[in-house]
Structure 1
Amino acid sequence: MKVRNPLLATMIATGALLFTYHTQAAETMTLEAIQHQWAHCKYDVFNEDNKINCLETLIQQNQQALRYAPGNNELKVWLAINKSTLAGVNGGLGALSLVKEAKSLLEEVIEKNPKVLEGSAYTSLGSLYYQVPGWPLGFGDDEKAEQMLKKALTINPDGIDPNFFYGDYLANEGRKAEAIAFLKKAQRATPSPGRPLADRGRQQEIATKLKELQ
């Protein structure tokens, strides 16, 4: 059908663009869906190739969500978490590239809104600092790790993740008694609303780490 009225043609074109945008936006994953899928990839998928595929797909979906909300710091934190998790599974030189990308995302969030997601950017960055190799291969730095993790605990002193990662860091440093205290505090943390799989998986990690130390 040929539209002769220029105004009507503009309205139709605009409506089509808006419909396309809203349809595409509706197809992007919400933050909650990304969190749930991360827990599935990490704790429910055991075959290494399948886990890698699961995380790679999730990263693509996370990036798609960020394209529609480029200023969303929560999505940036989770993109960093997803990239870091994939690096831990994948290993090799590609892993170093992933953790560097994650570090940049977390530093950007900390600069703009350090308290987002109860200080999760500090927790995630701190965990990278003690798990990534130091110079010349990577940016690992135990002192910076402790600084970041303590900042996370200042924001969220009773959270399962900051207490777990600080306990894990202390265990790596040979500070056994302190590590046990923080891991037990993580074990007592209030469950996260709507995230039973993530909490269950983290509690299994805590139990494993305590067993190694005791």
Structure 2
Amino acid sequence: MKRIFACLLIGALSQGAWALDAADQQRLSDIQHNWAHIQYELPEGQRADAFEKLAAQTSAFKQERQSVAEAWIWSGIVNSSWAGAKGGIGALGKVKDARSDLEKALALDPKALQGSAYTSLGALYDRVPGWPLGFGDSDKAEQMLTQALQLNPDGIDSLYFWGDHLYRQKRYNEAKAALQKALKAAPRVGREAADAGRRKEIDALLVQVNKQLN
């Protein structure tokens, strides 16, 4: 189960947080930086406890700023990350919480953080087990990820998860093109750690894609 949820998570763009005041933009930036540090820099065995603490912060953020989609997006991202770090059947409850957070974000503002809620939901539908254990659904994943690309056609995350979806669907040539385009995505100011970690994931997936093509 841990492997199913690995690399589930999205590093949304801080520049999109136009709906927040200056203090909340700083709060969001701190959450993003902490997420990247935990996901890409901490040893695997330390991540679950670290994400649990970060989840408490994001939960408080969304409760205090209930009309702001960005707060709900990052609550969903962190809950997903916590599930991935924890693993096991118990992680499904956290993933369902993440889905609810992301659906709330879409109801508030589907364009927030350049459509990151669509990207995150698409990743969940791709990786979560299907019925009866979970809600995984490759058709819904494709729908969500396509909508994400319409809002952010050149983003490293939207392209990475689209490429991963294509790989899962055995559309290897298309997957390779999407992943190569993802590697050319413009750097995100203040998101250097997230970008570096995502590029490593893209490189690793490209190795698997090329194995299927060769």
Length-normalised TM-score, structure 2: 0.84
Q: Distance in 1 between matches of 2:140 and 2:62?
A: 28
Q: Distance in 1 between matches of 2:116 and 2:68?
A: 14
**Large movers: runs of 4+ above 3 Å:** none
- Which residue in the other structure is 2:119 paired with? 123
Residue aligned with 1:191, SS: coil
Give the C-alpha shift of residue 109 in structure 1. 1.2
- Which residue in the other structure is 1:30 paired with? 27
Q: Which has the larger radius of gyration?
A: 1
Q: Distance in 1 between matches of 2:150 and 2:184?
A: 18
Q: Distance in 1 between matches of 2:204 and 2:89?
A: 28
Q: Distance in 2 between matches of 1:38 and 1:151?
A: 24
- Which residue in the other structure is 2:177 paired with? 181
Matches of residues 1-214 of structure 1 in structure 2 within 5 Å?
A: 30-48=27-45, 50-214=46-210
Q: Distance in 1 between matches of 2:79 and 2:35?
A: 11
Residue aligned with 1:93, SS: coil
AA in 1 matched with 2:35 = W
Overall identity of the aligned pairs, in %: 47
Q: Distance in 1 between matches of 2:34 and 2:128?
A: 24
Check whether the contact 2:67–2:108 (CA below 8 A) recurs between aligned residues.
no
Bigger RCO of structures 1 and 2 (CA < 8 A, at least 6 apart):
2
Q: Distance in 1 between matches of 2:102 and 2:38?
A: 21
Residue aligned with 1:37, SS: helix
Q: Distance in 1 between matches of 2:63 and 2:124?
A: 25
Q: Which runs of no fewer than 5 residues in structure 1 stay unpaired?
A: 1-25
Q: Distance in 1 between matches of 2:47 and 2:123?
A: 21
Give the C-alpha shift of residue 67 in structure 1. 3.0
Q: Distance in 1 between matches of 2:60 and 2:110?
A: 23
Question: Bigger shift: 70-79 or 159-168?
Answer: 70-79
AA in 1 matched with 2:186 = T
- Which residue in the other structure is 1:20 paired with? none
Q: Distance in 2 between matches of 1:162 and 1:31?
A: 20
Residue aligned with 1:157, SS: coil
AA in 1 matched with 2:30 = A
Q: Distance in 1 between matches of 2:63 and 2:80?
A: 20
Cα-to-partner distance string for 1:2-50 (whole Å, 9 max, x where unaligned):
xxxxxxxxxxxxxxxxxxxxxxxx8xx70000000000010001132x1
Length-normalised TM-score, structure 1: 0.84
AA in 1 matched with 2:84 = G
